[in-house]
């Protein structure tokens, strides 16, 4: 396995394990009286602040990359963080949690379908098999259901969360144009916290908090302890590693890796707060791993990268902006600089000029 791919898979596994801790850490806050929107807003704020020192070091002398990547940052904040969270929590008002999770985590299938539509080429059998295995594993883990008919508005809201999750992976896998992954995660999280705060001020989402002690991991602790843990582990580490993994693996494979978040959430809930872990859930995790293996074995992903969805992110060699050197001075890229062209190539090109 090539070293970059192995590193991407390791980062994707770290992201899944980190994201998976959020349920066990946030649940005590919700039980103590925190509203989901308030917990998410503080969570992303802490995550952004934790990543800020690293981002400042990475961006030193390269501040212009923030402006070059402004639409990517805005998209990550609006679509990948705020939009996904708001749609998901809104859907919980009318449909069961398991159903909402199942719909949201259909994001990898959405990416496969969009790539199919744009390229007008059917996915390879290994991708279809991997998709079926992964979805089957997801169903076994979350056990969707509930009494009565599903509310159509709730289903649409959960579908909005699915689109947001798919958009997150697509944006994360786009060419960086010099913007480091950790800096992208940091600025997007801070911007998301500001947006959620503004939404809370409008009254569209309830923003309630409790400062009483909470029971977390079998002990009584101050309210800020689980918030700090979820901000560092489930947010800062999770988003930084997930965005880095997406840049290496591409949106499709990274999205399938993201399905492991559901399996890891069940495992952490079993280990940390004593929730039951069933044999079917364990089987579901194995099916998701099998699905990822099938999708990973698709050697045609690079050929499908033209649509910007299926394959791994291509090297950013043709960026319109100059690349910043280590000192912050801008240098021309070798592919666009005639000085870097070998002498025979320069002579051949000159011979063709009128």
Q: Which residues contact 292 (CB under 8 A, 6 or more apart)?
A: 130, 134, 253, 256, 257, 259, 260
**What pLDDT does residue 306 have?**
36
Average pLDDT, integer, range 121-148? 85
**What pLDDT does residue 345 have?**
42
**Model confidence at 304, in pLDDT bands (50, 70, 90)?**
very low
**What pLDDT does residue 189 have?**
96
**What pLDDT does residue 112 have?**
92
SS3 state of residue 214: strand
**Model confidence at 145, in pLDDT bands (50, 70, 90)?**
low
pLDDT per residue as tens digits for the range 231-287: 999 999 999 999 999 999 999 999 999 999 988 988 888 888 778 888 888 999 999
Is the confidence at residue 65, as pLDDT, over 80? Answer: yes
> According to the per-residue pLDDT averaged within each range, which of 24-38, 102-116, 290-304 is highest?
102-116
What tokens appear for 61 in the block?
């002398």
SS3 state of residue 215: strand
Using CA atoms, how far residue 174 sits from 51, 58, 263, 275, in Å, is 21, 19, 27, 38
**What pLDDT does residue 85 have?**
84
pTM of structure? 0.80
**Model confidence at 1, in pLDDT bands (50, 70, 90)?**
low
CA dihedral (310, 174, 230, 164) positive or negative: negative
H helices of the chain, in order, are 3-20, 22-32, 36-59, 64-68, 70-75, 84-91, 97-104, 107-119, 125-142, 152-172, 181-202, 224-231, 238-249, 251-258, 260-273, 279-296, 343-352
**Model confidence at 310, in pLDDT bands (50, 70, 90)?**
very low
**What pLDDT does residue 148 have?**
55
Q: How many CB atoms lie within 10 A of CB 308?
A: 18
The H or E element containing residue 320 is none
Cα angle for residues 86, 88, 91 (degrees, 5° grid): 105
């Amino acid at each position: 396995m090539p070293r970059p791919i192995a590193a991407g898979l390791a980062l994707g596994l770290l992201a899944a394990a980190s994201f998976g801790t959020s349920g066990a850490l946030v649940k005590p806050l919700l039980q103590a009286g925190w509203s989901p929107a308030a917990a998410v807003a503080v969570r992303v704020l802490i995550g952004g602040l934790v990543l800020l020192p690293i981002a400042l070091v990475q961006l030193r002398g390269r501040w212009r990359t923030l402006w070059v990547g402004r639409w990517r940052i805005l998209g990550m904040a609006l679509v990948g963080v705020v939009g996904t969270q708001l749609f998901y929590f809104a859907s919980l008002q009318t449909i069961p949690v398991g159903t909402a999770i199942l719909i949201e985590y259909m994001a990898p299938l959405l990416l496969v379908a969009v790539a199919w539509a744009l390229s007008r080429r059917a996915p390879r059998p290994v991708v279809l098999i991997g998709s079926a295995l992964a979805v089957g594993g997801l169903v076994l883990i979350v056990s969707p259901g509930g009494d009565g008919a599903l509310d159509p508005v709730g289903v649409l809201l959960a579908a909005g969360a699915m689109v947001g999750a798919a958009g997150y992976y697509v944006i994360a896998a786009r060419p960086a144009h010099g913007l480091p992954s950790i800096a992208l995660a940091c600025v997007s999280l801070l911007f998301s916290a500001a947006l959620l705060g503004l939404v809370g001020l409008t009254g569209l989402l309830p923003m309630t908090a409790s400062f009483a002690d909470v029971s977390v991991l079998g002990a009584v602790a101050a309210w800020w302890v689980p918030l700090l843990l979820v901000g560092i582990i489930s947010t800062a580490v999770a988003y930084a590693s997930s965005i880095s993994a997406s840049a290496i693996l591409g949106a499709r494979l990274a999205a399938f890796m993201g399905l492991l978040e559901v399996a890891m959430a069940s495992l952490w809930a079993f280990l940390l707060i004593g929730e039951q872990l069933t044999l079917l859930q364990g089987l579901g995790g194995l099916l998701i791993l099998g699905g990822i293996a099938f999708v990973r074995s698709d050697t045609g992903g690079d050929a499908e990268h033209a649509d910007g969805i299926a394959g791994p992110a291509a090297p950013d060699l043709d960026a319109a902006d100059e690349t910043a050197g280590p000192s912050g001075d801008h240098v021309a890229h070798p592919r666009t600089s005639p000085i870097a062209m070998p002498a025979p190539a320069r002579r051949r090109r000159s011979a063709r000029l009128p």
